[in-house]
Structure 1
Amino acid sequence: MLVSRLLDLGDLATAGNLKRGIAHTWAKALNADALPGEQYTGPPGDPGLFGPKSVMWYVHDDPSGVVGGVMGLILGSLHEPTMHGTNKHSVYKDDPLGRLGRTVSFVNTMCWASTPVAEKMAQTVRRMHKHVHGTMPDGRPYDASSSEHLIWTGVTQAYGIIQAHLRYHPHPVSEKEVDRYFAEYAVITEMLGAHDVPKTVADVEAYFTAMRPQLTFSEETADVVGFFTRPFGRNPAAKAGSRLLCKAAFDLLPPWAKRLYRLPDNPIDQMITRRSLRVLFQMLRDSVGDSPIKTQAIERATARPPVLSQTG
């Protein structure tokens, strides 16, 4: 009951201080850290990897993608070698907002930046991945540069984001456009070095079916549960928002993943969580408006490239 009341933000939707506080906290969290080279201006006329008419731009132009990204991290943690590599080579437990910020920085750059900037960002991350490899205590290898690892992390992120979009966006894309979204997100995964990436809903469902025997709730996965079930932030608005976000991310998992996480089936709690998050997202849409990233990307993509003079 206490959790339900904490998450029932609908009664507080008109509280201006809460609205401003959550919007500020949201923006600060997503910009806690950034990867080098992130920028969205120039060259003029360059649409980037996807462009204004892409499904990618439409889906990622909404705060619902953040809960999908968190769901993707939680789903991805069921693959023990991936989780072991993350724990061994990442400081997400010590600096969770920094890790979140760097992940958002990468996805934003690949989505919205110009083609040369996106290509350079992919090269940067590929260099970072080369240092993430080793052997687990039971002898299984892990390698962040392997196609298998890249596909798992890429597909779980894309799946989480599009599922959040379908549930929480006021005007979600069609089934056909969901296929387009997976195909577009696969471009990012392929630029990191993967091949044979699933590119349709059917491909992704078949991929998850094939992967499920390899997934398990391990000790390291339990650490992820502990992290994402503790509210974080320095003020009540941040803690309430983070708790709601993480609760909604677990709720967004597919049924087979919920069973692995041993999540209870509580329809009333699910209803309150979803209602509260819809209120929060609308608050964010009303408070934050268009992001500077989107504005810069549109200005760049629609600008006329300079005309080179020709002399005879």
Structure 2
Amino acid sequence: MLVTRLLEIGDLAMMGNLKRGIALTWAKSLNADSMPGEQYSGPAGDPGLFGPQSVMWYVHDDPSGVVGGVMGLILGSLHEPTMHGTNKHSVYKDDPAGRLGRTVSFVNTMCWASTPVAEKMAQTVQRMHKHVHGTMPDGRPYDASASENLIWTGVTQAYGIIQAHLRYHPNPVSPAQVDQYFAEYAVITEKLGATGVPKSAAEVDAYFAAMRPQLTYSEETADVVGFFTRPFGKNQAARAGSRLLSKAAFDLLPPWARKLYRLPDSPIDQLITRRSVRVLFQLLRDSVGESVIKTEAVRRATARPEVLSQTG
């Protein structure tokens, strides 16, 4: 999976070209699989849904989003209908790298692509969601297209990413910009068909407070815990790395979610995890440089639109 590939640094160091090795591993991880229609060029002058001055572009231009995205998946798993639908209709256990790659592809497209490309991507995912519905064993319905489920998935992802940003980015955004980030991420959720999406930190806190009676540590949630805590990788360094980022993701959970997951408090372990992840992310920032996606998106957004000449 993505976090495993990111952390095969033990092998990369022996290659004698650490920076190049990290960059290649990072690129392969983000492109494990992609959604159809993903592209970031043209039309010239189109800023996309957010643009270069947005908080969205600033937050997502950093590797800390990896931990945040995984935390969002873990937090989202506490909602049993959502988790049941995922288990019934997803192949994430059989192809974790591909599943995560497609999720990254979707978020990247909505964040960085031009407006028509992002809107077409949203329509593609809407069509996919129409096939994810049914009834749980206890009779409760689940439907990936339902507004309440779209909101839960979108808010948990946005919350995870911004929390990881606040903890691990060297220059994190201000509280006002956190509100702006939630408002911008809500646009993505709305494009998928949701209404009434929380758009500020206060609204997200109130939303979680309202949702907490519906959340539970179920058997399917336990499967997710086992999945994310199981070490991945072909060597000892990779497996240790996957455990580190999994621990960092669980460490990001809010206290009420940690309690539902029955996670013990270990200040020393938390300190070691956070320091280790900060070192890793700084290494990635120094080694990988600006992403190709961002380069293409900036070039497109800042290009002068073609002027159609009229004769007659």
Same structural fold, with TM-score higher than 0.5 when normalized by the shorter chain: yes
Tell me if 1:86 matches 2:86: yes
Separation in structure 2 between the aligned mates of residue 302 and residue 102 of structure 1, nearest angstrom: 27
Separation in structure 1 between the aligned mates of residue 99 and residue 21 of structure 2, nearest angstrom: 22
What is aligned with 1:225? 225
Amino acid of the structure 2 residue aligned with 1:43: P
- Go from structure 1 to structure 2 and tell me whether the alpha carbon gap of 1:203 and 1:123 turns closer, same or farther (over 3 Å shift): same
Q: Is the 8 A contact 2:22 2:288 kept in 1?
A: no
Separation in structure 2 between the aligned mates of residue 280 and residue 65 of structure 1, nearest angstrom: 13
Separation in structure 1 between the aligned mates of residue 249 and residue 116 of structure 2, nearest angstrom: 33
Separation in structure 2 between the aligned mates of residue 229 and residue 190 of structure 1, nearest angstrom: 32
What is aligned with 2:197? 197
Shift of 1:23: 4.6
Please list the CA deviations of residues 112-157 of structure 1 after superposition, one character each: whole Å capped at 9, or x if unmatched.
Answer: 0000000000000000000000000000000000000000000000
What is aligned with 2:250? 250
Q: Is the 8 A contact 1:231 1:243 kept in 2?
A: yes
Amino acid of the structure 2 residue aligned with 1:194: A
Shift of 1:232: 1.2
Pairwise mapping of residues 124-135 of structure 1 onto structure 2 (< 5 A)?
124-135=124-135
Pairwise mapping of residues 1-312 of structure 1 onto structure 2 (< 5 A)?
22-312=22-312
The percent identity for this pair of structures is: 85
Amino acid of the structure 2 residue aligned with 1:147: S
Shift of 1:30: 2.0
Separation in structure 1 between the aligned mates of residue 36 and residue 171 of structure 2, nearest angstrom: 34
Separation in structure 2 between the aligned mates of residue 225 and residue 15 of structure 1, nearest angstrom: 34
Q: Is the 8 A contact 1:148 1:194 kept in 2?
A: yes
Separation in structure 2 between the aligned mates of residue 124 and residue 166 of structure 1, nearest angstrom: 32
Amino acid of the structure 2 residue aligned with 1:135: T
Amino acid of the structure 2 residue aligned with 1:191: K
Q: Is the 8 A contact 1:25 1:238 kept in 2?
A: no
Q: Is the 8 A contact 1:22 1:241 kept in 2?
A: no
- Go from structure 1 to structure 2 and tell me whether the alpha carbon gap of 1:22 and 1:270 turns closer, same or farther (over 3 Å shift): farther
- Go from structure 1 to structure 2 and tell me whether the alpha carbon gap of 1:120 and 1:304 turns closer, same or farther (over 3 Å shift): same
Q: Is the 8 A contact 1:21 1:237 kept in 2?
A: no
What is aligned with 1:3? none
Shift of 1:19: 6.1
Amino acid of the structure 1 residue aligned with 2:239: K
> How many residue pairs align between the two structures?
303
Q: Is the 8 A contact 1:81 1:142 kept in 2?
A: yes
Shift of 1:244: 1.3
Amino acid of the structure 2 residue aligned with 1:302: T
- Go from structure 1 to structure 2 and tell me whether the alpha carbon gap of 1:259 and 1:42 turns closer, same or farther (over 3 Å shift): same
Q: Is the 8 A contact 2:48 2:112 kept in 1?
A: yes
Separation in structure 2 between the aligned mates of residue 15 and residue 254 of structure 1, nearest angstrom: 39
Unmatched tracts of structure 1, length 5 or more: 1-6
Separation in structure 1 between the aligned mates of residue 258 and residue 25 of structure 2, nearest angstrom: 29
- Go from structure 1 to structure 2 and tell me whether the alpha carbon gap of 1:14 and 1:60 turns closer, same or farther (over 3 Å shift): farther
Separation in structure 2 between the aligned mates of residue 275 and residue 16 of structure 1, nearest angstrom: 25
Please list the CA deviations of residues 36-81 of structure 1 after superposition, one character each: whole Å capped at 9, or x if unmatched.
Answer: 0000001111000000000000000000011000000000000000
Q: Is the 8 A contact 2:44 2:303 kept in 1?
A: yes
CA RMSD between the two structures: 1.9
| Secondary structure of the structure 1 residue equivalent to 2:41 | coil
Shift of 1:28: 2.1
Separation in structure 2 between the aligned mates of residue 110 and residue 174 of structure 1, nearest angstrom: 23
- Go from structure 1 to structure 2 and tell me whether the alpha carbon gap of 1:18 and 1:253 turns closer, same or farther (over 3 Å shift): farther
Separation in structure 1 between the aligned mates of residue 177 and residue 298 of structure 2, nearest angstrom: 21
- Go from structure 1 to structure 2 and tell me whether the alpha carbon gap of 1:242 and 1:24 turns closer, same or farther (over 3 Å shift): farther
Separation in structure 2 between the aligned mates of residue 204 and residue 130 of structure 1, nearest angstrom: 26
Amino acid of the structure 2 residue aligned with 1:226: G
TM-score normalized with structure 2 length? 0.93
TM-score normalized with structure 1 length? 0.93
Amino acid of the structure 2 residue aligned with 1:249: A
